[in-house]
């Protein structure tokens, strides 16, 4: 049964706390002051392969959001829904060009950044030390660095990723940046704008609460 880690309300978020895609959603909720109940699911907690979970999310992945009788999966779709339904302006501005810029980064995070981050994270965090292939890990880091350089360039002329301030784009990319800067044993290129931005977003209380904890 549910293992609530926050005040019980109608908004439920299913997913283990060490999942990057769950972390993004929790971070967003806290930024907006949206109360929620998180329920462990995925990996060692199971649940996500059971019929009742699959009825909510046929992918058997986390997170899944339940808001009354409304069920939603895909972490970035969940971010958009939470922002829209709580009237956020700077997190997800209504102006088409600004919003489209943010949308671009939300899509890019899942289509381009996540696939190059995953091998590095799994190889260095979820693989026992004795089994780690450090040459392959450095190659993975070099591959990921190509994408982080794009963000570094984007941040050369602005404080936050897109828009008029801290936005959903910072949350989506920031959760992955915690992993990029957190893994050990590989060499990363100096990316000063990215580092400056990460220092800025990582002091946010919601980041500290949900994204900063030790990776596992």
Ligand X SMILES: N[C@@H](CCC(=O)N[C@@H](CS)C(=O)NCC(=O)O)C(=O)O
Residues that bind ligand X in the complex, under the rule CB under 6 A: 16, 19-21, 42-43, 48, 61-63, 74-76, 110
Between residues 61 and 204, which has the closer beta carbon with respect to ligand X? 61
In whole angstroms, the minimum distance from the beta carbon of 95 to ligand X comes to: 25
> CA-to-CA distance for 182 and 130, rounded, in angstroms?
19
DSSP class of 214: P
Edge to edge, the sheet with strand 11-14 lists: 37-39, 11-14, 64-67, 70-73
First-to-last C-alpha distance (Å) of the chain = 23
Residues 6+ apart with CB under 8 A from 135: none
Select from 68, 74, 59, 58 the least CA-distant residue to 36.
Answer: 68
In whole angstroms, the minimum distance from the beta carbon of 87 to ligand X comes to: 23
Between residues 47 and 86, which has the closer beta carbon with respect to ligand X? 47
Query: Which residue of the chain is nearest ligand X when measured via CB?
Result: 42
In whole angstroms, the minimum distance from the beta carbon of 164 to ligand X comes to: 25
């Amino acid at each position: 049964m549910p293992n609530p880690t926050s005040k019980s309300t109608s908004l439920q978020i299913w997913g283990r706390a060490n999942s990057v895609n769950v972390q993004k959603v929790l971070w967003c909720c806290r930024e907006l002051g949206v109360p929620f109940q998180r329920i462990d699911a995925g990996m060692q907690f199971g649940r996500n392969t059971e019929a009742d979970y699959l009825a909510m999310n046929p992918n058997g992945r986390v997170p899944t959001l339940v808001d009354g009788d409304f069920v939603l999966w895909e972490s970035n779709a969940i971010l958009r829904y939470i922002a829209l339904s709580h009237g956020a302006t700077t997190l997800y501005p209504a102006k088409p060009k600004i919003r489209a810029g943010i949308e671009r980064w939300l899509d890019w995070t899942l289509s381009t950044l996540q696939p190059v981050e995953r091998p590095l994270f799994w190889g260095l965090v979820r693989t026992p030390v004795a089994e780690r292939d450090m040459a392959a890990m450095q190659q993975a880091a070099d591959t990921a660095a190509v994408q982080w350089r794009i963000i570094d360039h984007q941040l050369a002329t602005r404080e936050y990723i897109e828009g008029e301030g801290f936005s959903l784009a910072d949350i989506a990319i920031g959760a992955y940046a915690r992993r990029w800067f957190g893994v050990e044993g590989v060499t990363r290129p100096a990316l000063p704008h990215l580092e400056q931005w990460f220092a800025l977003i990582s002091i946010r209380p919601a980041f500290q609460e949900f994204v900063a904890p030790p990776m596992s």
